């Protein structure tokens, strides 16, 4: 049975992350948003206290209730989403390795996505391409096996990659047999310093501007055979089954990673929404019009009531999904429901917060316009809202809705 009362450990972690978000991240948020650069000094501080690190991630992921990670992420993103993404970006690579690699590969490569406080390292998960975002079955990046040298040769261009080109470890999803679409794909580790991997254009973004997003270009990029996640034997067997039956019944490597991380992405959006709601509530008690605080105007009070209700509804969906992910898995697209709801709520709540602050809300003097810009990415990355609806519709109907 799900129990949503946080235990002492979870309450302690919640406070620990909140204090870091409050004392270190928030004061730095505006500066790094304006600079549009990866906030190395802040990630360094997070590594020094153990918040940026594979041990923290693994501990949080091993919690049987599933709640530790979303609780921590909500606080982190309450601090700031751009810096939050800089701290969480490597987790997607780690999830890609954990979801597809052998135990030995997980132990070898996940720590390298983080490094340690003496030498902070980064990971990147490279799936999307200029012509394949939602439609991950159409990847053009090719992986060809060179039997003579026991190497894989990667060629292609990845688009919109968080930590792309600045990461130490790149996890790349590529087509081994393109005619098998998603079933013919595999995930590969590109180790630090590998020739043939370079950064393409760095994107200038609407929000989460402290998070680095770039193209990754793979040009005859040769990696050792052991860098195929899951190993060659497993891949050969999967491809053989897919060739025989037209499909293997196994999930695409990218999709299984995204499915597992959806409640966490919902928690990111939730943190932003809560930040904006709390700010707007405080402001509404201070700002006076027509002789009274604006919260005393029912139009504003009802807006705040709706914001609070929607935020709590999002959190319940996220916690349910996080619990289900650890206790039997999703049945009716609950992971997608949590990400879909929380991200749409974050966009609406941050917009309402701007409205409550009026003209001040529209300026960069106050953080609510940044929160609104930051919220929007959550309806786009790791599966757009439309793709989440598709996943839910397929799960509840049992039909292959297109
Ligand atoms: C800041 C940022 C960071 C990112 N980080 C990463 C990363 O680290 N790694 C990575 O691999 N990718 C990353 N992405 C890519 C992201 O996951 C994709 O942008 C996203 O999946 C959408 O793909 P697309 O941009 O190609 O849009 P498209 O797939 O072209 O979609 C365009 C529109 O059509 C809709 N649509 C598409 N197909 C359907 C359908 N079947 N039914 C209904 N509507 C549909 C979409 O919902 C959307 O509204 C990142 C993107 C951004 C902006």
Question: Which CATH number belongs to the domain containing residue 38 in this structure?
Answer: 1.10.540.10
- Within a domain: residue 140? yes
380 lines ligand 1 (CB under 6 A): yes
Same domain, 35 and 143: no
Residue 363 burial class via C-beta count within 10 angstroms: exposed 0-12, middle 13-18, buried 19 and up: exposed
Kindly give the number of the ligand 1 atom that is closest to the alpha carbon of 134.
29
- Give me the residue label for tokens 């509840």: 396
Same domain, 99 and 161: no
User: How far is CA 148 from its chain centroid?
Assistant: 38
Ligand 1 mean position to 259 CA, how many Å? 15
User: How far is CA 365 from its chain centroid?
Assistant: 28
pLDDT at 257: 64
Give every CB contact of residue 379 below 8 A, 6+ residues apart in sequence: 343, 344, 347, 385
Kindly give the number of the ligand 1 atom that is closest to the alpha carbon of 173.
11
Which residue, among 132, 39, 48, 129, has the nearest Cα to 87 in the 3D structure? Answer: 39
- Within a domain: residue 2? no
Distance of alpha carbon 279 from alpha carbon 264, whole angstroms: 23
Same domain, 108 and 134: no
Last residue of a domain, one of 178, 212, 245: 245
Q: Are strands 197-202 and 142-146 parallel, antiparallel or unpaired?
A: unpaired
Last residue of a domain, one of 245, 279, 295: 245
pLDDT at 254: 64
Catalytic residue among 74, 129, 334, 382: 382
Domain that holds residue 37: 8-113
On whether the CB atoms of residues 126 and 158 are closer than 8 A, the answer is yes
Cα-based distances in Å from 304 to 151, 351, 354: 58, 12, 12
133 lines ligand 1 (CB under 6 A): yes
On whether the CB atoms of residues 124 and 216 are closer than 8 A, the answer is yes
Q: For every one of its 402 residues, what pLDDT tens digit does the chain have, with 9 covering 90 and above?
A: 678 899 999 999 999 999 999 999 999 999 999 999 999 999 999 999 999 999 999 999 889 999 999 999 999 999 999 999 999 999 999 999 999 999 999 999 999 999 999 999 999 999 999 999 999 999 999 999 999 999 999 999 999 999 999 999 999 999 999 999 999 999 999 999 999 999 999 999 999 999 999 999 999 999 999 999 999 999 999 999 999 876 545 566 666 666 778 999 999 999 999 999 999 999 999 999 999 999 999 999 999 999 999 999 999 999 999 999 999 999 999 999 999 999 999 999 999 999 999 999 999 999 999 999 999 999 999 999 999 999 999 999 999 998
Ligand 1 mean position to 160 CA, how many Å? 9
- Within a domain: residue 402? no
Distance of alpha carbon 254 from alpha carbon 252, whole angstroms: 6
Helix, strand or coil, per DSSP, at residue 142: strand
Same domain, 301 and 385: yes
Same domain, 179 and 273: no
Same domain, 375 and 241: no
Task: Please tell me the total count of domains within the chain.
Answer: 3
Distance of alpha carbon 151 from alpha carbon 225, whole angstroms: 5
Same domain, 147 and 264: no
Q: Give nearest CA residue, ligand 1 atom 16.
A: 381
Give every CB contact of residue 279 below 8 A, 6+ residues apart in sequence: 353, 366, 367, 368
Exposure string of 70-100, with b = 16+ CB inside 10 Å and e = fewer, is bbbbbbbbbbbbbbbbbbbbbbbbbbbbbbb
Reported as type and span, the H/E element at residue 60 is helix 54-62
- Within a domain: residue 37? yes
Distance of alpha carbon 96 from alpha carbon 75, whole angstroms: 24
Q: Give nearest CA residue, ligand 1 atom 17.
A: 381
Which residue, among 5, 126, 99, 113, has the nearest Cα to 56 in the 3D structure? Answer: 113
384 lines ligand 1 (CB under 6 A): yes
- Within a domain: residue 1? no
Concatenating the DSSP letter of every residue in 3-48 gives: --S--HHHHHHHHHHHHHIIIIIHHHHHHHHHHTS--HHHHHHHHH
- Within a domain: residue 3? no
- Within a domain: residue 323? yes
Q: What angle do CA 340, 2, 93 make, to 5 degrees?
A: 50
Last residue of a domain, one of 245, 275, 293: 245
- Give me the residue label for tokens 């052991």: 226
Same domain, 240 and 262: no
Cα-based distances in Å from 336 to 56, 212, 259, 270, 396: 25, 25, 8, 14, 12
User: How far is CA 58 from its chain centroid?
Assistant: 16
Check which CATH number belongs to the domain holding 221 and give it.
Answer: 2.40.110.10
Instruction: Give the global pTM.
Output: 0.96
Same domain, 216 and 171: yes
Q: Alpha helices of 63-203 — where are they, by DSSP H?
A: 68-79, 81-100, 103-109
Which residue, among 109, 85, 89, has the nearest Cα to 99 in the 3D structure? Answer: 109
Ligand 1 mean position to 214 CA, how many Å? 14
Same domain, 216 and 274: no
pLDDT at 248: 47
Ligand 1 mean position to 351 CA, how many Å? 22
Helix, strand, coil percentages in the chain from 3-state DSSP, rounded to 5: 60, 15, 25
Same domain, 220 and 109: no
pLDDT at 247: 52
- Within a domain: residue 12? yes
Can 259 be counted among the known catalytic residues?
no
Check which CATH number belongs to the domain holding 311 and give it.
Answer: 1.20.140.10
377 lines ligand 1 (CB under 6 A): yes
Q: Are strands 123-126 and 151-162 parallel, antiparallel or unpaired?
A: unpaired
- Number of Cβ within a 10 Å radius of residue 6: 16
pLDDT at 162: 98
Same domain, 204 and 130: yes
Ligand 1 mean position to 1 CA, how many Å? 35
Q: Alpha helices of 188-333 — where are they, by DSSP H?
A: 232-245, 253-286, 298-326
Q: What are phi and psi of 129, to 5 degrees?
A: -135, 165
Q: Would you say the C-alpha torsion 175, 181, 182, 184 has a positive or negative sign?
A: negative
């Amino acid at each position: 049975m799900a129990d949503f009362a946080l235990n002492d450990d979870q309450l302690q972690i919640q406070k620990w992350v909140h204090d870091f978000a409050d004392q270190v991240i928030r004061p730095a948020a505006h500066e790094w948003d304006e600079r549009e650069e990866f906030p190395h000094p802040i990630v360094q501080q997070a590594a020094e206290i153990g918040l940026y690190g594979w041990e923290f991630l693994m501990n949080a992921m091993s919690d049987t209730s599933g709640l530790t990670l979303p609780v921590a992420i909500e606080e982190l993103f309450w601090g700031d989403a751009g810096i939050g993404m800089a701290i969480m970006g490597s987790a997607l690579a780690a999830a890609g390795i954990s979801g597809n690699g052998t135990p030995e590969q997980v132990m070898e490569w996940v720590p390298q996505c983080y490094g340690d406080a003496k030498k902070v390292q980064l990971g990147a998960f490279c799936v999307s391409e200029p012509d394949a975002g939602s439609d991950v079955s159409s990847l053009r990046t090719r992986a060809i096996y060179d039997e003579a040298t026991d190497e894989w040769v990667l060629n292609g261009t990845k688009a919109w990659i968080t930590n792309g080109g600045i990461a130490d470890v790149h996890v790349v999803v590529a087509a081994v047999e393109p005619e098998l679409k998603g079933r013919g794909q595999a995930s590969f580790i590109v180790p630090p310093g590998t020739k043939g991997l370079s950064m393409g254009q760095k994107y200038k973004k609407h929000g989460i501007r402290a998070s680095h997003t770039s193209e990754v270009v793979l040009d005859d990029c040769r990696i050792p055979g052991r860098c195929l996640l899951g190993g060659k034997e497993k891949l050969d067997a999967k491809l053989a089954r897919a060739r025989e039956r037209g499909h293997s019944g196994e999930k695409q490597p990218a999709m299984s990673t995204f499915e597992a991380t959806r409640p966490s992405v919902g928690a990111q959006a939730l943190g932003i929404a809560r930040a904006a709601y709390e700010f707007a509530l405080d402001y509404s008690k201070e700002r006076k019009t027509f002789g009274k605080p604006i919260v005393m105007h029912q139009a504003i009070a009802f807006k705040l009531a709706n914001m609070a209700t929607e935020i709590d509804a999002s959190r319940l969906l996220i916690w349910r999904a996080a619990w289900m992910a650890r206790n039997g898995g999703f049945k009716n697209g609950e992971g997608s429901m949590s990400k879909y709801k929380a991200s749409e709520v974050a966009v609406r709540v941050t917009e309402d917060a701007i409205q409550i602050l009026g003209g001040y809300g529209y300026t960069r003097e106050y953080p609510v316009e940044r929160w609104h810009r930051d919220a929007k990415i959550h309806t786009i990355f790791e599966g757009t809202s439309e793709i989440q609806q598709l996943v839910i519709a397929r799960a509840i109907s049992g039909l292959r809705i297109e």
